[in-house]
Structure 1
Amino acid sequence: MKEFIQVGTILYHKYLSKVKVEDINNDLIKVNAGTKGILEFPLRDFGKVIFIDKKHQNMKFDRTEDYLDFCRNEYKLKKEPQIFNSKLQEEKYIESNRFNKHIYNTMVDLCNFEDIKNNNINLEIIKGKIKMETKSANGNEAAEQISIFEPDKSKLIVDNKKEQEKIKEIIERRKIKHLIHFTRIENLSSILENGLMPISILFDKEICYIGNDRNRLDEMLDCISCSVTFPNYKLFFAFRLKEPSAKWVVIAISKDILFSTNNTAYFCSTNAAALIPKIRKEIYTKAERLEDMFCDNYTAKNGKIIQRRSLQIDDNYTTDPQAEILISGIIDYKYIDYIYFNNQDDVDYYRKTYDTYLLSKFNYKIDQKYFQPRKDYEFWKKEL
């Protein structure tokens, strides 16, 4: 790592642009992010959201070491030009060292789910972009390969409608009314005014906020984490234990957000960090993934099989209390159905310190239930 980074080095953050290294230790790097001050990032962020070269910002590597190897090879190519005995040898070398996306992955990335839902798929543009990314070593376009992966626009839209119908059926059958999101009380005024914003947009708009999960191992910085019906009490408790003087609110979001054309929902049967970095995230938009969140048999980390019926929970509770739905983009404040406070003191504190007018436009009440463990808490504590 030190061969590329030292105090004073300029790095490139995916969402913060240029940052300057202030300090490095075994696990963390401190950077000066200008108006955002001194920030800390784990070293594992290299190759994911922090890069040595600006040209690397659109790349993504599974491991930091993979990224460093890539940088070493790139540096070596720049410093040590290759000498070839023939044109064929040169072409083979170029082909073996190219850094290309697989055509299919490119198609999925370019033809995203927001476009499908909005009936906004321009196949000519997509094919053009794929051709640019799939040029062979001698500059010819791989037209035959492209045609194999060309999507049927009508089929994509029909398939998405079918998925939406399946998701709606699950929501109605399980009587799911709300998704749940907890946040620090300091963030509430911004949420009531602007909606719930993911980290990437908060950074982009330079909106001050107090975050909870600094590491975000799921790497979905463009998404907001929500639970179904009840908060992820294990995580909520851990955050509150870490800062016992902090005040919190719990926000109930209408189930209708799952059908918004401006957002995409990713259904995770357990903590998203355990799933999404390992498998393409598009898989988690399917109705079957939503159904998995309420599975009859759940395999715990220790290998033990947990039967849902033994938990004696309501149909609209996820089997794993840490299951979550990630919602991409901004959750408009029109989807906020309720704001729950822990006690009257917190309500009074918010009114006095932050705002009264905005709060009066929303439904809010005191409900300590959302600040307590789930009723199957003892079972999970014992089993896990």
Structure 2
Amino acid sequence: MNEIWAEAQRRGITRLCHFTKSANLAHILATGEIRDALTLRAGTEGFRPTDRARLDGYPDHINCSIEYPNTWYLDRARAEDPHFQDWVVLLLDPALLSLPGAKFCPYNAARGLGGGVSSGIAAFTDLFQAAVSGNARRVRTVRHPDWWPTDDQAEVLLPGPIPLRHVHGVVVKDAAQAELEHYRLTQHLDMGTVLPPLIIAPTLFDKYLLSQNVRAGHRPAELPFIP
């Protein structure tokens, strides 16, 4: 067994998260994979990247987080593209942590132009240090869950593309968005057979509330969407 995956299981990690504009969801379902920025730029299809600059220096990797989304960066991305306010969070198989080429950063990977990004079991366990200094010093308390990195913005960079079979769910912010996405993708685009389950979880889109809940050891409510 891969030692990174073994450590992830020991910590109780159940999923990875990758957020994207909801406008990109149909493309992901149609192609059957989440494509990295480098692959998308080389293609002929139009796409709206979440991070145009990719200051982390790894455009051939897909930015993910452990267990819950990096809502701090999501909030900034939403502000930079006011015309596209609907986003989704894709829930990924945590076994992807053991992919060859997977990299880790204990804080936002763009900080220091990717200088904190590394690979291997030591880099993975660094996500859970007693204290991490990214844009500020973050510390673990007795209530901090084993499965949650010390810094909310800790990142996992997975080599792309990621096949759709590794996407186990799609999180939306409210029932209205769930209904819209379901109608658009099943009725209008006829993608119902490949659409992963939709999940409603408003807290996953609120940076303050999510951080407060998770750091206190509480898992926010998540409700399955039933058409």
Query: The TM-score by the shorter chain falls in which range?
Result: 0.7 to 0.9
Q: Quickly say closer, same or farther: Cα 1:189–1:275, change in 2 above 3 A.
A: same
- Map of 1:173-322 to 2, 5 A cutoff? 173-194=10-31, 195-242=33-80, 243=82, 246-260=85-99, 264-274=101-111, 277-278=114-115, 284-301=118-135, 304=137, 306-309=138-141, 312-322=143-153
Structure 1 gaps, min length 5: 1-163, 380-384
Partner SS, residue 270 of structure 1: coil
Distance in 2 (alpha carbons) for counterparts of 1:245 and 1:275? 28
Residue-by-residue CA offset, 1:238-273 (whole Å, 9 max, x unaligned): 12234275211110000122234xx52101111112
Of the candidates 376, 379, 384, which is equivalent to residue 212 of structure 2?
376
Report if aligned partners of 1:313, 1:375 keep a CA contact under 8 Å in 2.
no
- Map of 1:69-84 to 2, 5 A cutoff? none
What's the counterpart of residue 191 of structure 2? Answer: 358
Residue-by-residue CA offset, 1:328-359 (whole Å, 9 max, x unaligned): 12000010011111122212322444444424
Partner SS, residue 180 of structure 1: strand
Report if aligned partners of 2:185, 2:191 keep a CA contact under 8 Å in 1.
no
Partner SS, residue 358 of structure 1: coil
- Map of 1:8-47 to 2, 5 A cutoff? none
Distance in 1 (alpha carbons) for counterparts of 2:166 and 2:103? 18
Distance in 1 (alpha carbons) for counterparts of 2:186 and 2:77? 24
Residue-by-residue CA offset, 1:91-122 (whole Å, 9 max, x unaligned): xxxxxxxxxxxxxxxxxxxxxxxxxxxxxxxx
Residue-by-residue CA offset, 1:49-78 (whole Å, 9 max, x unaligned): xxxxxxxxxxxxxxxxxxxxxxxxxxxxxx
User: Which structure is richer in relative contact order (CA contacts within 8 A, separation 6 or more)?
Assistant: 2
1:227 deviation in Å?
0.5
Is 1:338 the equivalent of 2:175?
no
TM-score, normalised via structure 2 length: 0.81
Distance in 2 (alpha carbons) for counterparts of 1:352 and 1:209? 22
- More helix by proportion, 1 or 2? 1
Larger CA Rg, structure 1 vs 2: 1
Report if aligned partners of 1:256, 1:335 keep a CA contact under 8 Å in 2.
no
Between Structure 1 and Structure 2, how many residues are aligned? 207
Give the alignment's Cα RMSD to 1 decimal.
2.4
Q: Quickly say closer, same or farther: Cα 1:353–1:172, change in 2 above 3 A.
A: closer
Report if aligned partners of 1:268, 1:275 keep a CA contact under 8 Å in 2.
no
Q: Quickly say closer, same or farther: Cα 1:275–1:228, change in 2 above 3 A.
A: farther
Report if aligned partners of 2:108, 2:134 keep a CA contact under 8 Å in 1.
no
Distance in 1 (alpha carbons) for counterparts of 2:58 and 2:193? 32
Q: Quickly say closer, same or farther: Cα 1:301–1:239, change in 2 above 3 A.
A: closer
Structure 2 gaps, min length 5: 216-227
Residue-by-residue CA offset, 1:294-352 (whole Å, 9 max, x unaligned): 111223545x5x42016x33211111011100011200001001111112221232244
Q: Quickly say closer, same or farther: Cα 1:229–1:204, change in 2 above 3 A.
A: same
Distance in 1 (alpha carbons) for counterparts of 2:201 and 2:119? 32
Report if aligned partners of 1:184, 1:247 keep a CA contact under 8 Å in 2.
yes
Partner SS, residue 169 of structure 1: helix
TM-score, normalised via structure 1 length: 0.50
Percent of residue pairs identical: 24
Partner SS, residue 45 of structure 2: coil
